[in-house]
């Protein structure tokens, strides 16, 4: 197989779509053919694919070689994220969810379930730190941040970001240098930031495939779950299975934050809807519908 110029035929295209779905649940339709072609080209140019000479070799490697399987997945994820993206969720944390927990000095557990390069969990950590200071609280706060993409997890652990303040609005209450070392600022309002150790210490980064059968957490473990802008990549039936697992690990009264174009689907009777894709768990049992 020529690794630089080759065309996918329909059968191979469907085999790639199936392999992606089976490994991580990402559902790509036939309209994404050009994108699939480009990403396969990038994968095959990687030195770990040096011994792959046909599509049969590739499918065999995806099945049997964990490094190539991971690289295949990493090539197909979409990782767009921002600091304080959909900032109304951080306002909701400040104005509602965190207050009783901090006032009672309760320990707080937060799950950030598709954390990409880490901007989301660092935004959560900064919000918690700010609120903890306001309430002079002794709460212990733990954030578990997961993603399937190992390249993103490595970036997240580094916590180094370029922030263009003309494109990425930061809430007024955020004083960036309380949470980030400002490495450089350009005259055009671009900042180079590194998350401070105090922020990093609140977060544990781990790999987790949301498509896996079960999650390594206990029932009712989390006070808040962020699952934003990832459900859109799955089929509706798989979104509902993921939502059911998240429902199990969220405490009754806990909050689920979804992305702007996502919804609670068939679980609407298990959650109260606050608006802005904010949902409160209202019951403990799912009637075995998924």
Ligand X SMILES: C[S@@+](CC[C@H](N)C(=O)[O-])C[C@H]1O[C@@H](n2cnc3c(N)ncnc32)[C@H](O)[C@@H]1O
Question: Residues in the site for ligand X, rule: CB under 6 A?
Answer: 24-26, 77-81, 85, 114, 116, 120, 147-149, 152, 208-211, 228-230, 233, 259
Decide if 178 contacts 129 (C-beta within 8 A).
yes
Q: Which one, 25 or 254, has the nearer CB to ligand X?
A: 25
Nearest distance from residue 42's CB to ligand X, in Å?
A: 15
- As a whole number of angstroms, the distance between CA 52 and CA 103 comes to 58
Q: Which one, 113 or 137, has the nearer CB to ligand X?
A: 113
**Mapping DSSP to helix (H, G, I), strand (E, B) and coil, where does residue 194 land?**
strand
Q: Which one, 105 or 168, has the nearer CB to ligand X?
A: 168
Burial class (CB in 10 A: 0-12, 13-18, 19+), 263: middle
Following DSSP, what letter does each residue of 39-83 receive, concatenated? HHHHHHHSGGGTT--SHHHHHHHHHH-HHHHHHHHHHH------T
Nearest distance from residue 78's CB to ligand X, in Å?
A: 5
Which DSSP letter does residue 279 get? E
Nearest distance from residue 62's CB to ligand X, in Å?
A: 15
Q: Which one, 71 or 137, has the nearer CB to ligand X?
A: 71
Nearest distance from residue 50's CB to ligand X, in Å?
A: 25
Nearest distance from residue 1's CB to ligand X, in Å?
A: 27
Q: Which one, 102 or 250, has the nearer CB to ligand X?
A: 250
Decide if 68 contacts 150 (C-beta within 8 A).
no
């Amino acid at each position: 197989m020529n690794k630089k110029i080759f065309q996918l035929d329909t059968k191979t295209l469907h085999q790639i779509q199936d392999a992606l779905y089976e490994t991580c649940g990402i559902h790509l339709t036939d309209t994404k053919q050009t994108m699939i072609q480009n990403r396969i080209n990038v994968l095959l140019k990687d030195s770990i694919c040096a011994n792959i000479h046909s599509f049969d070799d590739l499918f065999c490697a995806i099945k049997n070689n964990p490094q190539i399987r991971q690289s295949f997945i990493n090539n197909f994820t979409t990782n767009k994220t921002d600091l304080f993206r959909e900032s109304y969720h951080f306002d909701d944390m400040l104005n509602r969810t965190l207050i009783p927990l901090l006032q009672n000095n309760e320990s707080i557990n937060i799950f950030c379930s598709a954390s990409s390069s880490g901007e989301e969990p660092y935004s959560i950590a900064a919000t918690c730190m700010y609120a903890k200071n306001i309430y002079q609280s002794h709460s212990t706060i733990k954030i578990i941040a997961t993603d399937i993409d190992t390249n993103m997890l490595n970036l997240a652990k580094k916590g180094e970001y370029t922030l263009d303040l003309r494109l990425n609005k930061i809430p007024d209450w955020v004083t960036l240098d309380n949470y980030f070392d400002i490495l450089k600022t350009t005259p055009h309002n671009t900042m180079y930031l590194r998350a401070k150790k105090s922020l990093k210490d609140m977060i544990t980064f781990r790999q987790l495939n949301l498509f896996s059968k079960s999650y390594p957490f206990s029932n009712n473990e989390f006070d808040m779950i962020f699952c934003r802008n990832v459900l859109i990549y799955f089929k509706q039936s798989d979104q509902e299975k993921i939502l059911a697992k998240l429902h199990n690990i969220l405490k009754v009264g806990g909050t689920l934050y979804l992305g702007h174009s996502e919804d609670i689907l068939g679980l609407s009777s298990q959650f109260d809807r606050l608006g802005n894709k904010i949902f409160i768990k209202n019951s403990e049992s799912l009637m075995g519908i998924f």
